[in-house]
Amino acid sequence: MEETVDAGPVAAASGAWDRMREAAGPDSDRLLIPEGPEPEKVLVRRLHSGHGPALQEDDVYNASWVYFDYTTGKLRQDSDDSAPEYFTYTPGTTIKAWWPGLQEMRVGERRELVVPSDWAYKSGARVYLVELNLIKPK
């Protein structure tokens, strides 16, 4: 029987959120926001390595995330505002940019995604910080 790969209780994600907020700021030089026009493709940078199996297509997972406006750097939304959600890692589900951005990500890994507007529901470019908390067994 497979076991759930878990970085800790999702409901008690305060430790993960402390790490996310620490990585996010207040020092803007910790973010990989290029100067000039928004990128044409999703840019991915690993901030912290994870462990265990890598996220694969059709895996059900939970992630902590925050996103910032690319132009202003202002915090726009974070997953701490709602109950823990589970997503299926499949093209066309959740956030379009997460398909390339979370590819082969491991539990506990933290990544920064710089996302052009075309990949962000045409609502302006975004910068995401994402930490993979859990992959449920199939």
pLDDT digits (tens, 9 = 90+) for 77-119: 777 645 678 889 998 777 788 889 999 999 999 898 999 998 8
pLDDT, tens digit, for every residue of 59-68? 999 998 888 8
Whole-number pLDDT of residue 103? 93
3-state secondary structure 79-120: HHHCCCCCEECCCCCCCCCHHHHCCCCEECCEEEEEECHHHC
5-135 maps to CATH 3.10.50.40: yes
Distance CA 10, CA 63 (A): 9
Answer yes or no: are the C-beta atoms of 97 and 113 closer than 8 Å. Answer: yes
Whole-number pLDDT of residue 3? 30
DSSP secondary structure letter of residue 24: H
In the structure encoding, which two tokens stand for residue 36, read together?
């000039």
- 123 three-state secondary structure: coil
